[in-house]
Structure 1
Amino acid sequence: MEGTNKEQAKTFIFRKAEAADADHIWEILQQAIERRRLDGSRQWQDGYPNPDTVKNDLENGWGFVLVDDEGVIAYSALILNDEPAYNQIDGAWLTLGDFLVVHRVAVSDRVAGKGIATRLFKAIEQYAIAQHIPSIKVDTIFDNPAMLRVLEKLDYIYCGEVILFGAPRKAFEKVLG
Protein backbone atom coordinates (compact mmCIF):
# COMPACT_ATOMS: atom_id res chain seq x y z
CA MET A 1 0.00 0.00 0.00
CA GLU A 2 2.83 2.35 0.84
CA GLY A 3 4.34 1.93 -2.65
CA THR A 4 1.01 2.74 -4.24
CA ASN A 5 0.75 6.03 -2.36
CA LYS A 6 4.30 6.90 -3.38
CA GLU A 7 3.50 6.23 -7.06
CA GLN A 8 0.37 8.38 -6.87
CA ALA A 9 2.34 11.23 -5.31
CA LYS A 10 4.83 11.38 -8.19
CA THR A 11 4.83 14.37 -10.46
CA PHE A 12 5.06 13.72 -14.19
CA ILE A 13 6.05 16.37 -16.72
CA PHE A 14 5.79 15.97 -20.48
CA ARG A 15 8.05 18.36 -22.36
CA LYS A 16 10.16 18.93 -25.42
CA ALA A 17 13.49 17.16 -25.06
CA GLU A 18 16.61 19.27 -24.63
CA ALA A 19 20.21 18.62 -25.67
CA ALA A 20 21.02 17.79 -22.02
CA ASP A 21 18.54 14.89 -22.23
CA ALA A 22 20.33 13.15 -25.13
CA ASP A 23 22.34 10.68 -23.04
CA HIS A 24 19.28 9.72 -20.96
CA ILE A 25 17.19 9.29 -24.12
CA TRP A 26 19.81 7.08 -25.72
CA GLU A 27 20.07 4.99 -22.54
CA ILE A 28 16.28 4.47 -22.54
CA LEU A 29 16.30 3.58 -26.23
CA GLN A 30 19.10 1.05 -25.63
CA GLN A 31 17.05 -0.53 -22.84
CA ALA A 32 14.02 -0.74 -25.16
CA ILE A 33 16.18 -2.22 -27.95
CA GLU A 34 17.39 -4.90 -25.56
CA ARG A 35 13.85 -5.64 -24.32
CA ARG A 36 12.72 -6.10 -27.94
CA ARG A 37 15.68 -8.45 -28.56
CA LEU A 38 14.88 -10.51 -25.47
CA ASP A 39 11.25 -10.70 -26.64
CA GLY A 40 12.50 -12.33 -29.84
CA SER A 41 11.58 -9.34 -32.01
CA ARG A 42 13.54 -8.08 -34.99
CA GLN A 43 12.27 -4.55 -34.31
CA TRP A 44 15.12 -2.13 -33.63
CA GLN A 45 17.76 -4.86 -34.04
CA ASP A 46 19.46 -3.36 -37.11
CA GLY A 47 21.22 -0.28 -35.75
CA TYR A 48 18.11 1.90 -35.67
CA PRO A 49 17.44 3.89 -33.63
CA ASN A 50 20.92 5.09 -32.77
CA PRO A 51 22.60 8.18 -31.25
CA ASP A 52 22.36 9.98 -34.61
CA THR A 53 18.60 9.34 -34.61
CA VAL A 54 18.35 11.03 -31.20
CA LYS A 55 20.55 13.92 -32.36
CA ASN A 56 18.37 14.39 -35.46
CA ASP A 57 15.18 14.28 -33.36
CA LEU A 58 16.53 16.94 -31.02
CA GLU A 59 17.82 19.17 -33.84
CA ASN A 60 14.43 19.02 -35.56
CA GLY A 61 12.46 19.63 -32.36
CA TRP A 62 10.80 16.21 -32.60
CA GLY A 63 12.03 14.71 -29.33
CA PHE A 64 9.73 14.70 -26.30
CA VAL A 65 10.26 13.22 -22.86
CA LEU A 66 8.18 12.22 -19.88
CA VAL A 67 9.96 13.07 -16.65
CA ASP A 68 9.23 12.01 -13.09
CA ASP A 69 10.82 13.15 -9.82
CA GLU A 70 13.94 11.10 -10.63
CA GLY A 71 14.47 12.12 -14.26
CA VAL A 72 13.61 11.13 -17.81
CA ILE A 73 11.51 7.94 -17.89
CA ALA A 74 10.10 7.83 -21.42
CA TYR A 75 10.81 9.17 -24.90
CA SER A 76 9.03 9.64 -28.18
CA ALA A 77 9.50 11.53 -31.42
CA LEU A 78 6.51 13.60 -32.53
CA ILE A 79 6.46 14.74 -36.14
CA LEU A 80 3.75 16.89 -37.69
CA ASN A 81 2.28 15.64 -41.00
CA ASP A 82 5.50 14.00 -42.14
CA GLU A 83 5.83 10.27 -42.54
CA PRO A 84 6.25 9.36 -46.21
CA ALA A 85 5.49 5.68 -45.48
CA TYR A 86 1.99 6.73 -44.40
CA ASN A 87 1.18 7.91 -47.95
CA GLN A 88 0.88 4.26 -49.00
CA ILE A 89 -1.42 2.31 -46.71
CA ASP A 90 -3.00 -1.05 -47.37
CA GLY A 91 -6.24 0.09 -45.79
CA ALA A 92 -7.44 3.62 -45.11
CA TRP A 93 -6.69 6.35 -42.60
CA LEU A 94 -9.63 7.79 -40.69
CA THR A 95 -8.76 11.39 -41.64
CA LEU A 96 -6.85 13.20 -44.36
CA GLY A 97 -6.02 16.43 -42.50
CA ASP A 98 -3.23 17.41 -40.13
CA PHE A 99 -1.86 14.67 -37.90
CA LEU A 100 0.86 14.03 -35.38
CA VAL A 101 3.11 11.01 -36.05
CA VAL A 102 4.40 9.16 -33.00
CA HIS A 103 7.69 7.30 -33.47
CA ARG A 104 10.41 5.79 -31.28
CA VAL A 105 8.35 5.23 -28.14
CA ALA A 106 10.60 3.92 -25.38
CA VAL A 107 10.23 3.58 -21.62
CA SER A 108 13.00 3.26 -19.03
CA ASP A 109 13.60 -0.15 -17.48
CA ARG A 110 13.12 1.59 -14.12
CA VAL A 111 9.41 2.07 -14.83
CA ALA A 112 8.68 -0.59 -17.48
CA GLY A 113 5.39 -2.38 -16.88
CA LYS A 114 3.98 0.42 -14.69
CA GLY A 115 1.67 2.09 -17.20
CA ILE A 116 4.17 4.73 -18.27
CA ALA A 117 3.67 4.14 -22.01
CA THR A 118 -0.05 4.73 -21.50
CA ARG A 119 0.69 7.88 -19.50
CA LEU A 120 3.06 9.01 -22.28
CA PHE A 121 0.40 8.53 -24.97
CA LYS A 122 -2.17 10.43 -22.89
CA ALA A 123 0.31 13.30 -22.59
CA ILE A 124 0.95 13.19 -26.35
CA GLU A 125 -2.81 13.38 -26.95
CA GLN A 126 -3.11 16.41 -24.67
CA TYR A 127 -0.18 18.05 -26.45
CA ALA A 128 -1.81 17.43 -29.85
CA ILE A 129 -5.11 18.89 -28.65
CA ALA A 130 -3.33 21.97 -27.29
CA GLN A 131 -1.62 22.39 -30.69
CA HIS A 132 -4.98 22.01 -32.51
CA ILE A 133 -3.82 18.84 -34.26
CA PRO A 134 -6.93 16.73 -34.87
CA SER A 135 -5.42 13.24 -35.04
CA ILE A 136 -2.52 11.02 -34.10
CA LYS A 137 -1.11 8.34 -36.39
CA VAL A 138 1.24 5.63 -35.18
CA ASP A 139 2.55 2.31 -36.38
CA THR A 140 4.13 -0.67 -34.70
CA ILE A 141 5.57 -3.98 -35.73
CA PHE A 142 3.27 -6.99 -35.49
CA ASP A 143 5.26 -8.61 -32.67
CA ASN A 144 5.08 -5.76 -30.17
CA PRO A 145 2.26 -6.85 -27.85
CA ALA A 146 2.98 -4.16 -25.24
CA MET A 147 2.50 -1.34 -27.77
CA LEU A 148 -0.52 -3.05 -29.31
CA ARG A 149 -2.13 -3.26 -25.83
CA VAL A 150 -1.50 0.45 -25.18
CA LEU A 151 -3.03 1.43 -28.52
CA GLU A 152 -6.07 -0.79 -27.94
CA LYS A 153 -6.53 0.47 -24.38
CA LEU A 154 -6.49 4.09 -25.60
CA ASP A 155 -8.95 3.44 -28.46
CA TYR A 156 -6.59 3.81 -31.41
CA ILE A 157 -8.26 2.41 -34.51
CA TYR A 158 -6.46 -0.11 -36.70
CA CYS A 159 -6.35 1.36 -40.22
CA GLY A 160 -4.24 -1.15 -42.15
CA GLU A 161 -0.60 -1.81 -42.97
CA VAL A 162 2.23 0.48 -43.95
CA ILE A 163 5.77 -0.47 -44.95
CA LEU A 164 8.48 1.14 -42.84
CA PHE A 165 12.16 0.20 -43.10
CA GLY A 166 11.16 -2.51 -45.56
CA ALA A 167 8.83 -4.30 -43.15
CA PRO A 168 5.04 -4.27 -42.73
CA ARG A 169 3.70 -2.40 -39.72
CA LYS A 170 0.26 -2.18 -38.19
CA ALA A 171 -0.97 1.40 -38.60
CA PHE A 172 -3.36 3.09 -36.18
CA GLU A 173 -5.07 6.45 -35.90
CA LYS A 174 -6.94 8.25 -33.16
CA VAL A 175 -9.14 11.23 -33.91
CA LEU A 176 -8.95 13.66 -31.00
CA GLY A 177 -11.62 15.85 -29.50
Structure 2
Amino acid sequence: MKQFFFRQAKIEDLEAIWPLFLYAKETMRQRGTHQWQDGYPFKETIEQDIVHHYAYVVEEAGEVIAYVAISRDGEPTYQKIEGAWLNQEPYIVGHRMVVGKKGRGKGLGSFMIREAEKIAIIHGIRSVRVDTNFDNQVMKHIFEKEGYTYCGIIQVRDGKREAFQKILV
Protein backbone atom coordinates (compact mmCIF):
# COMPACT_ATOMS: atom_id res chain seq x y z
CA MET A 1 0.00 0.00 0.00
CA LYS A 2 1.26 3.46 -0.87
CA GLN A 3 2.14 5.81 1.96
CA PHE A 4 0.61 9.25 1.87
CA PHE A 5 1.78 12.18 3.96
CA PHE A 6 -0.83 14.77 4.92
CA ARG A 7 0.53 18.12 6.04
CA GLN A 8 -0.18 21.81 6.19
CA ALA A 9 0.84 23.57 2.99
CA LYS A 10 3.55 26.21 2.84
CA ILE A 11 3.80 29.13 0.45
CA GLU A 12 6.61 27.27 -1.34
CA ASP A 13 4.03 24.59 -2.26
CA LEU A 14 1.89 26.99 -4.31
CA GLU A 15 3.63 26.19 -7.59
CA ALA A 16 3.03 22.46 -7.02
CA ILE A 17 -0.57 22.98 -5.87
CA TRP A 18 -1.79 25.22 -8.69
CA PRO A 19 -1.40 22.60 -11.48
CA LEU A 20 -3.69 20.31 -9.45
CA PHE A 21 -6.44 22.91 -9.82
CA LEU A 22 -5.82 23.37 -13.53
CA TYR A 23 -6.07 19.61 -13.99
CA ALA A 24 -9.24 19.40 -11.85
CA LYS A 25 -10.93 22.26 -13.71
CA GLU A 26 -10.22 20.62 -17.07
CA THR A 27 -11.37 17.21 -15.82
CA MET A 28 -14.61 18.75 -14.53
CA ARG A 29 -15.15 20.52 -17.85
CA GLN A 30 -14.71 17.25 -19.73
CA ARG A 31 -17.22 15.55 -17.42
CA GLY A 32 -19.74 18.32 -18.02
CA THR A 33 -19.54 19.60 -14.45
CA HIS A 34 -20.22 23.33 -14.18
CA GLN A 35 -18.30 23.79 -10.94
CA TRP A 36 -15.09 25.84 -11.21
CA GLN A 37 -15.64 26.74 -14.86
CA ASP A 38 -15.67 30.52 -14.29
CA GLY A 39 -12.04 30.83 -13.21
CA TYR A 40 -12.61 30.24 -9.50
CA PRO A 41 -10.77 29.18 -7.47
CA PHE A 42 -8.04 31.58 -8.43
CA LYS A 43 -4.37 31.12 -7.65
CA GLU A 44 -4.76 33.98 -5.17
CA THR A 45 -7.52 31.98 -3.42
CA ILE A 46 -5.09 29.15 -2.79
CA GLU A 47 -2.40 31.59 -1.70
CA GLN A 48 -4.83 33.04 0.86
CA ASP A 49 -5.68 29.52 2.06
CA ILE A 50 -1.97 29.03 2.73
CA VAL A 51 -1.58 32.41 4.47
CA HIS A 52 -4.59 31.68 6.73
CA HIS A 53 -3.31 28.15 7.49
CA TYR A 54 -6.33 26.47 5.83
CA ALA A 55 -4.29 24.72 3.14
CA TYR A 56 -3.27 21.08 3.39
CA VAL A 57 -1.55 18.84 0.87
CA VAL A 58 -1.09 15.14 0.38
CA GLU A 59 2.36 14.01 -0.67
CA GLU A 60 3.40 10.72 -2.15
CA ALA A 61 7.15 10.08 -2.42
CA GLY A 62 7.74 13.78 -1.70
CA GLU A 63 5.45 15.00 -4.51
CA VAL A 64 2.29 17.05 -3.86
CA ILE A 65 -0.59 15.08 -5.41
CA ALA A 66 -3.70 16.46 -3.65
CA TYR A 67 -5.00 19.51 -1.78
CA VAL A 68 -7.82 20.54 0.54
CA ALA A 69 -8.65 23.70 2.47
CA ILE A 70 -9.81 23.06 6.04
CA SER A 71 -11.14 25.94 8.12
CA ARG A 72 -12.25 26.21 11.73
CA ASP A 73 -13.47 29.77 11.10
CA GLY A 74 -16.95 28.79 9.91
CA GLU A 75 -18.48 29.60 6.55
CA PRO A 76 -20.72 32.67 6.10
CA THR A 77 -22.72 31.04 3.30
CA TYR A 78 -23.71 28.25 5.71
CA GLN A 79 -25.72 30.65 7.89
CA LYS A 80 -28.70 30.41 5.54
CA ILE A 81 -29.72 26.98 4.27
CA GLU A 82 -32.77 25.69 2.44
CA GLY A 83 -33.06 22.72 4.76
CA ALA A 84 -31.46 22.23 8.15
CA TRP A 85 -28.06 21.45 9.55
CA LEU A 86 -27.85 18.46 11.89
CA ASN A 87 -26.86 20.75 14.77
CA GLN A 88 -25.68 24.29 15.48
CA GLU A 89 -22.45 23.32 17.21
CA PRO A 90 -18.99 24.51 16.09
CA TYR A 91 -17.79 22.83 12.90
CA ILE A 92 -14.92 22.71 10.49
CA VAL A 93 -15.35 23.25 6.76
CA GLY A 94 -13.70 21.34 3.95
CA HIS A 95 -13.32 23.31 0.72
CA ARG A 96 -11.49 23.18 -2.61
CA MET A 97 -10.55 19.51 -2.55
CA VAL A 98 -8.52 18.46 -5.58
CA VAL A 99 -6.60 15.38 -6.60
CA GLY A 100 -4.00 15.59 -9.34
CA LYS A 101 -3.54 13.12 -12.16
CA LYS A 102 -0.92 11.12 -10.23
CA GLY A 103 -3.32 10.78 -7.30
CA ARG A 104 -6.37 9.52 -9.17
CA GLY A 105 -7.87 6.21 -8.17
CA LYS A 106 -6.00 6.06 -4.85
CA GLY A 107 -8.86 6.97 -2.51
CA LEU A 108 -7.42 10.39 -1.73
CA GLY A 109 -10.81 12.11 -1.51
CA SER A 110 -11.82 9.83 1.34
CA PHE A 111 -8.33 10.06 2.83
CA MET A 112 -8.50 13.88 2.96
CA ILE A 113 -12.02 13.83 4.44
CA ARG A 114 -10.83 11.50 7.20
CA GLU A 115 -7.79 13.72 7.85
CA ALA A 116 -10.10 16.75 8.13
CA GLU A 117 -12.17 14.83 10.66
CA LYS A 118 -9.02 14.09 12.68
CA ILE A 119 -8.19 17.81 12.71
CA ALA A 120 -11.68 18.57 13.98
CA ILE A 121 -11.38 16.05 16.81
CA ILE A 122 -7.92 17.34 17.80
CA HIS A 123 -9.48 20.80 18.21
CA GLY A 124 -12.48 19.50 20.14
CA ILE A 125 -14.87 20.02 17.24
CA ARG A 126 -17.39 17.26 16.56
CA SER A 127 -18.87 18.37 13.25
CA VAL A 128 -17.74 18.77 9.65
CA ARG A 129 -19.70 20.65 6.98
CA VAL A 130 -19.02 20.53 3.25
CA ASP A 131 -20.74 21.48 0.03
CA THR A 132 -20.48 20.77 -3.67
CA ASN A 133 -22.13 21.57 -6.97
CA PHE A 134 -25.26 19.64 -7.95
CA ASP A 135 -23.48 17.93 -10.82
CA ASN A 136 -20.28 16.96 -8.99
CA GLN A 137 -21.09 13.28 -8.66
CA VAL A 138 -17.55 12.38 -7.61
CA MET A 139 -17.66 14.57 -4.48
CA LYS A 140 -21.22 13.55 -3.64
CA HIS A 141 -20.17 9.89 -3.82
CA ILE A 142 -17.24 10.56 -1.47
CA PHE A 143 -19.50 12.37 1.02
CA GLU A 144 -21.98 9.49 0.96
CA LYS A 145 -19.23 6.89 1.31
CA GLU A 146 -17.77 8.74 4.32
CA GLY A 147 -21.13 8.96 6.12
CA TYR A 148 -22.13 12.56 5.45
CA THR A 149 -25.81 13.53 5.61
CA TYR A 150 -27.43 15.73 2.97
CA CYS A 151 -28.75 18.82 4.79
CA GLY A 152 -30.03 21.14 2.06
CA ILE A 153 -29.09 23.90 -0.35
CA ILE A 154 -26.83 26.88 0.28
CA GLN A 155 -26.21 29.92 -1.90
CA VAL A 156 -22.63 30.75 -2.92
CA ARG A 157 -21.22 33.49 -5.14
CA ASP A 158 -22.03 31.70 -8.40
CA GLY A 159 -25.14 29.69 -7.58
CA LYS A 160 -26.51 27.05 -5.29
CA ARG A 161 -24.68 24.10 -3.77
CA GLU A 162 -25.71 20.92 -2.01
CA ALA A 163 -24.62 20.96 1.63
CA PHE A 164 -23.68 17.98 3.81
CA GLN A 165 -22.70 17.46 7.43
CA LYS A 166 -21.25 14.73 9.58
CA ILE A 167 -21.36 14.55 13.36
CA LEU A 168 -18.17 12.97 14.67
CA VAL A 169 -18.28 10.58 17.60
> For the superposition of Structure 1 and Structure 2, which TM-score range results when normalised by the shorter chain?
over 0.9
Corresponding residue number in structure 1 for 2:91: 99
Corresponding residue number in structure 2 for 1:64: 56
Cα drift, residue 82 of structure 1: 2.2
Amino acid at match of 1:104: R
Instruction: Provide the aligned length of Structure 1 versus Structure 2.
Output: 169
Q: After TM superposition, list the pairs within 5 Å mapping 1:123-162 onto structure 2.
A: 123-162=115-154
Cα drift, residue 96 of structure 1: 0.7
Q: Does 1:32 align with 2:24?
A: yes
Residue 58 of structure 2: SS of its match in structure 1? strand
Cα drift, residue 81 of structure 1: 3.6
Corresponding residue number in structure 1 for 2:78: 86
* CA contact 1:81–1:98 (8 Å) conserved in 2: no
Corresponding residue number in structure 2 for 1:23: 15
Cα drift, residue 40 of structure 1: 1.0
Corresponding residue number in structure 2 for 1:4: none
Distance 1:24 1:48 in 2: 18
Q: Deviations over 1:95-120 (max 9, x none)?
A: 11110011100001112122111111
Cα drift, residue 21 of structure 1: 0.8
Task: Kindly report structure 1 stretches of 4+ aligned residues shifted beyond 3 Å.
Answer: none
Residue 54 of structure 1: SS of its match in structure 2? helix
- Normalised by the length of structure 2, the TM-score is 0.96
Gaps of 5+ in 2: none
Provide the identity percentage.
Answer: 38
Corresponding residue number in structure 2 for 1:45: 37
Amino acid at match of 1:44: W
Distance 2:161 2:102 in 1: 28
Distance 2:164 2:23 in 1: 25
Cα drift, residue 162 of structure 1: 0.3
Cα drift, residue 165 of structure 1: 1.7
Cα drift, residue 166 of structure 1: 3.2
Corresponding residue number in structure 1 for 2:109: 117
Amino acid at match of 1:125: E
Larger Rg: 1
* CA contact 1:76–1:104 (8 Å) conserved in 2: yes
Gaps of 5+ in 1: 1-7
Distance 1:22 1:103 in 2: 16
Q: Does 1:73 align with 2:65?
A: yes
Q: Tell me how large the CA RMSD over aligned residues is.
A: 1.1
Distance 1:58 1:81 in 2: 14
Corresponding residue number in structure 2 for 1:3: none
